[in-house]
């Protein structure tokens, strides 16, 4: 009897050994693969199942899954396949802008099936800029110039018929062209100088409808450092979300991404505290006055580091100039941006993080880059533990936010360097109270690329528009 039982157990063990993956194999099977690219100011478009990003300096890349990217182009040269012989093709643009490079591009597809690239160039030390459109049959080019439609930085009469004034007129760069929920075509644009503006566009020609000048102002002015507008409609919340970058783009510039929202594509836009964004600008007579603008907008992400003695390279420096994508089939949303990194200077890469809506209809950003995760039901027992906490605040600063440690306890209290309470409401909704301030968002299990494991995270937002991230600190 014991002999037969031994043989049965032995055969069963052999069967399991050959049919089930080892722990190492299971870990390897779920380990996501990333492939990096460098595109500054990436503007996303999806076509025929492929995501493309186009950015400054005529750089571009593509991906099937938002994780593994392929670099297509990198710089402005006459051999760039996006716009061959670009210095001749866009000669008027380069001459006007007194520049030899291009700034943040945006590509959209119109009803004729063609791809319209909104290009722009700027002198840089002044808002002397030009913006135009080029068209291609294939998204990867070649694009042929159709002409300039906006200029700025001139001495004398501007596009709206009045003398150009950089404190109130736009710097005509950083375009994003989009369709609203009724099918009307718009273009939002602007950087620093007089602020962010929006124009209604002709969907047949790709040019602005006549008689608008620079269009309608949405926010900014007096050289306040606000740029890179990108507007995305969410059919679930029925809001238009305008994403913006505040601060300076270099590694010591304090670049950070913010969001405001409106019921209409052309505003008015408000932040989480209900502040009208049309009133947000630099103090009169100032230049790059960050203190005037930093209290406004929902700050989604700035410079931060999860780094510990054993965990190196976990953080971003000056993340910004994002685009965003809403997947109509899944209802998922994604934030696509460039970022620099701690101790890596001005080197930058594209990153994608998933966006989730909290109970008040504001987006919160997943703490870790997108690795194919989905928002699933979370169990209470999987939430308790020690967390590293990042408080993004509202400041515009070169300082890199560091972590503090907290404990989410089984009795729903929070202890450690901050105290409070936590609750899971619904399948995965997070309600966190820290030092008397209530935050709402989500719990989501994510892949930590540094520790190479899946960990519980939360991303929550206060009523004043301050974001807090938590990442399970299990070893």
List, by residue number, the catalytic residues: 41, 227
Closest CA relative to residue 127, chosen from 157, 101, 96: 96
- Cα 321 from Cα 55, distance rounded (Å): 10
| Six-digit token string for 248 | 């300076």
SS3 per residue for the chain: CHHHHHHHHHHHHHHHHHHCCCHHHHHHHHCCCCECCCCCCCEEEEECCEEEEECHHHCEEEECCCCEEEEEECCCCCCCCCCCCHHHHCHHHHHHHCCCCCCCCEEEECCCCCEEEEEEEECCCCCCEEEEEEEECCCCCCCEEEEEEEEECCCCECCCCCECCCCCCCCCCCCEEEECCCCCEEEEECECCCCEEEEEECCCCCCECCCCCCCEEEECCCCCCEEEEEEEEECCCCEEEEEEEECECCCCCECEEEEEEECCCCCCCECCCCCEHHHCCCCCCCCCCHHHHCCCCEEEECCEECCCCCCCCCEEEEEEEEEEEECCCCCCEEEEEEEECCCCCCCCEEEEEEEEECCCCCEEECCCCCCCCCCCCCCHHHCCEEEEEEECCCCCCCCCECCEEEEECCCCEEEECCCEEEEEECCCEEEEEECCEEEEEEEEEEEECCCCEEEEEEEEEECCCEEEEEEECCC
Q: Which of 446, 449, 244, 451 is nearest to 356 (CA)?
A: 446
From first CA to last CA, the distance across the chain in angstroms is: 45
> The tokens 């109130």 sit on which residue?
168
Radius of gyration of the chain (CA): 24
Place of tokens 């994510």: 446
């Amino acid at each position: 009897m014991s002999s037969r039982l031994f043989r049965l157990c032995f055969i069963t063990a052999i069967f399991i050994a050959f049919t089930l993956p080892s722990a190492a194999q299971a870990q390897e099977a779920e380990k996501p693969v990333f492939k990096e690219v460098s595109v500054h100011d990436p503007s996303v478009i999806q076509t025929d199942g492929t995501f493309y990003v186009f950015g400054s300096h005529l750089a571009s890349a593509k991906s099937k899954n938002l994780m593994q990217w392929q670099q297509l182009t990198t710089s402005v040269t006459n051999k760039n396949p996006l716009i061959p012989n670009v210095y001749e093709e866009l000669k008027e643009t380069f001459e006007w802008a007194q520049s030899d490079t291009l700034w943040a591009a945006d590509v959209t597809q119109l009803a004729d099936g063609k791809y319209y690239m909104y290009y722009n160039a700027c002198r840089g030390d002044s808002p002397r800029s030009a913006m135009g459109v080029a068209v291609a049959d294939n998204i990867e080019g070649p694009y042929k110039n159709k002409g300039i439609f906006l200029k700025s930085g001139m001495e004398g009469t501007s596009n709206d018929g009045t003398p150009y004034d950089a404190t109130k007129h736009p710097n005509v760069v950083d375009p994003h062209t989009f369709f609203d929920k009724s099918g009307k075509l718009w273009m939002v644009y602007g950087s620093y100088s007089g602020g962010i503006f929006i124009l209604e566009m002709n969907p047949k020609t790709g040019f602005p409808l006549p008689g608008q000048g620079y269009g309608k102002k949405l926010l900014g002015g007096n050289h306040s450092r606000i740029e890179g507008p990108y507007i995305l409609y969410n059919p679930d919340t029925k809001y238009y979300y305008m994403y913006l970058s505040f601060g300076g783009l270099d590694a010591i510039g304090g670049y950070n991404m913010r969001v405001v929202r409106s019921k209409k594509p052309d505003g008015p836009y408000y932040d989480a505290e209900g502040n009208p964004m049309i009133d947000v600008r630099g103090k009169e007579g100032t230049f790059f006055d960050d203190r005037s603008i930093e209290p406004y907008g929902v700050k989604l992400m700035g410079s931060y580091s999860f780094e510990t003695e054993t965990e190196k390279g976990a953080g971003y420096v000056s993340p910004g100039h994002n685009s965003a994508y809403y997947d109509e089939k899944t209802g998922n949303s994604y934030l696509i941006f460039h970022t620099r990194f701690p101790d890596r200077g001005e080197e930058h890469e594209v990153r994608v993080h998933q966006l989730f809506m909290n109970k008040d209809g504001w987006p919160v950003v997943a703490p870790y880059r997108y690795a194919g995760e989905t928002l699933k039901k979370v169990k209470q027992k999987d939430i308790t533990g020690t967390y590293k906490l990042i408080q993004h605040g509202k400041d515009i600063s070169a300082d890199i936010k560091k972590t503090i440690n907290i404990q989410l306890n089984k009795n729903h209290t929070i202890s450690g360097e901050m105290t409070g309470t936590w609750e899971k409401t619904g399948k995965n909704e997070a309600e966190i109270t820290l030092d008397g301030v209530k935050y709402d968002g989500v719990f989501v299990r994510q892949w930590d690329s540094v520790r190479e494991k899946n960990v519980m995270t939360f991303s929550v937002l206060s009523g004043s528009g301050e974001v807090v991230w938590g990442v399970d600190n299990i070893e």
